[in-house]
A and B are shown apart, each in its own frame.
Chain A
Amino acid sequence: MTSVRALAPVALLLLSVACASGPPFAPVPTTPPDKAIVYVYRTAQFVGDGVTYTVNAGGKPLVKLLPNGYIALLAEPRETEFSAETEATSSITLDLEAGQTYYLKGGIGVGFLVGHPKLTLVDATTGSSEIVNCKKLPPASLGLDTP
């Protein structure tokens, strides 16, 4: 019993490290007519939250995606690949259109040594309802338009 009590703070610390802790979700107020908005977010799961990964957009690091975290990207309207990697790679290419909003959900699947990243395009209804509990994450590199 004593050892369980001793381990509790460690477990709490690990949980807090693995979760996003930025400002709460706020939608991009205005959409530039010549850009597309891509929300990349990740909800908390029971399994796999300790695994984090960086999501790349068009070959550039976009965000280190933590559970309950999100980032908004104002992107050029063109074919853009989003990818993430742990022991396996996950990638998805979106045909971004100006004035449109996209929700890309990150997750974790079963892996051999480490969980595999999963990037899934979800519809606006699902995305807008799931992202409200997420916290804003800092961008992983400069040069990307992340309002």
Chain B
Amino acid sequence: MRLAFSMALLVVVLCVSACTTVTVVPSLLPGEGSAPELRLPALYKGDPRHLPLGVVAVSSPDAPFEYAFHVAYRRDDLPALITLINPLTLFGWPIGSVRVTAVATLTARVGGAVVKRYEATATVHKTRTLYSSDSLTELRLQALAAARDSIEAQIQADAIYLLDLASAAEQSTSPAAPEVNP
């Protein structure tokens, strides 16, 4: 009985340790149905993998939209002495944790003034064990993907408004058509 309890405890410890949790605010699901297809031109210089599907990267500072993100890292470690004297460390007991927070924003501007701002915050938390690697790069990708998907869901919900904004901006920046004499 005692052995069974010990084994069950070990299994629970191993299942709980080294797990990864992702939280996103706001947590929105992609809308169902036929939303109009978005191709919002946004000033963005980073990796295109982090862009929402409805956003297209442009390099012009006059673009009506701007996509940006910021990533912060936090590491919490148990004191080494506690880790070393804890026998459960060998069985996968957590020895610390890492947290990666990504904040993504999509800003809409008309005539230089901000008219709408979408923001998403994604946090990925992972507990570490004696046997786990410490890839903050991987957690950063997960956080950025979650933030990107949240922004995508937000802009899909406002698709018609954003399409109007984009077309208005395009008309204001496109050169006037030459007059044709009859």
Contact = CB atoms under 8 A, between A and B. Distances in A.
A132 B137 CA distance: 28
A88 B133 contact: yes
B96 A109 contact: yes
B168 interface: no
A54 to B, nearest CB: 16
B46 A90 contact: no
A93 B89 contact: no
A81 B89 contact: no
Q: Find the residue from A90, A92, A118 having the highest chain B CB count within 10 A.
A: A92
The B interface, classified by DSSP as helix, strand, loop or mixed, is mixed
Nearest to B134: A90
Nearest to B50: A79
Contact of B137 (A81, A116, A120): A81
A92 B133 contact: no
B37 interface: no
A121 B75 CA distance: 10
Interface string B28-62: 00000000000000000011000000000000000
Interface stretch (B76-84, B148-156, B158-166, B174-182): B76-84
A68 interface: no
Given A110-B83, A110-B89, A110-B95, A91 B137 contact: yes
B130 A89 contact: no
Contact of B136 (A93, A110, A111): A93
A78 B133 CA distance: 25
Interface string A90-129: 1111010000000000000111100011111100000000
- Is the contact region of chain A dominated by helix, strand, or loop, or is it mixed? strand
A111 B73 CA distance: 21
Contacts, number: 57
A111 B130 contact: yes
A83 interface: yes
A91 B135 contact: yes
Nearest to A121: B73
A92 B136 contact: yes
A112 B71 CA distance: 30
A1 interface: no
Nearest to A117: B134
Contacts of A110: 80, 83-84, 89, 95, 130
B8 to A, nearest CB: 24
B135 A90 contact: yes
Contact of A118 (B46, B131, B132, B134): B134
A8 B13 CA distance: 43
Given A92-B73, A92-B140, 5 more contacts: A79-B46, A90-B135, A109-B80, A116-B134, A119-B134
